[in-house]
Amino acid sequence: MRIAFIGDIVGRPGRKIIKQHLQNIREKYKFDMVIANAENASHGFGLTVKNCQELLNSGIDVITGGNHSFDKKSEMFTLLETKPVLRPDNYPKGIPGTGIKVFDVNNEKLAVINLMGQFSMPTVENPFNWAVKLVDELHEKGIRNIFIDFHGEATSEKRVIFMMLKGLVSGVCGTHTHIGTDDLQVINGTAYLTDIGLTGCRDNVIGMDSKIPIEKATTGLGGHFTIPNACKSILQMMVIDIEDGKAVDCFKLKKYCDKPDIIKTEAIFD
């Protein structure tokens, strides 16, 4: 099976470039499933029912989240009950929804896991121990095709989860920083990227208008981050070919709104 994972979709510019290009990219590269982190898809903070349906209609099959999953709490509660939407599975007990679902893809089982790191994040259960428990349970059920969206601030946490699970899952991709990293690789059949980077405005500050972040950096006074009305945008995705639970090929695709070609970067096999 071939799966694609899209990084943090930020606001209308992120949704727009997906609506314009994802279906064509999906057909060209023959994805069997598209997963996307969309916790910033509605005005940069959270996800609404309307915007969720827009993304699903544009070619996304499963949506993951992170620390902004519950910014629009009531709508998120509805989405977790009615749509293929996940939130980090290691949120404390009692929070609605789940961070793990198993899907049928081309007559095979694919488990999608959403976890969140601990550093500079809301209160969560230990993601490392949590991940081992989930993967062990999936293996006991005979499920080997496993993809993990690890939503974390610290690059070290993402690397730790990869080192712990290499050879045991099909892929691990980091989200949250909105800045793409240059370490796409496959080790022991597990594809890995520290952070896929945002899908949205690429010419501002992590998808947000630059004015308030600059004021905060220079004066210490904060403000409400907003999404620019006009910007140059980018769509970024990680693509993994999986056979018997192992990543046999992996590459990254980048589509710029103002450039005709798709940029493809191959993973290093170590």
Calpha distance 245→213 (Å, rounded): 42
Q: Is 66 helix (H, G, I), strand (E, B) or coil?
A: coil
At residue 229, does pLDDT exceed 90? no
At residue 122, does pLDDT exceed 90? no
Mean pLDDT of the chain: 95
- Annotation says 68 is catalytic: yes
Calpha distance 269→131 (Å, rounded): 24
Domains: count for the chain: 1
Supply 89's token pair: 């599975």
Calpha distance 68→175 (Å, rounded): 12
128 close to 142: Cβ distance less than 8 angstroms: no
Instruction: Tell me the whole-structure pTM to 2 decimals.
Output: 0.94
Of residues 216 and 252, the one with the higher pLDDT is 252
Annotated active-site residue in 68, 151, 176, 178: 68
Cα Rg of the chain, angstroms? 17
**For residues 200-212, average pLDDT:** 90
Residue 88 belongs to a domain with what CATH number? 3.60.21.10
Calpha distance 43→54 (Å, rounded): 14
Calpha distance 34→21 (Å, rounded): 13
Q: Which domain holds residue 248?
A: 2-269
44 close to 225: Cβ distance less than 8 angstroms: yes
Q: Is 255 helix (H, G, I), strand (E, B) or coil?
A: strand
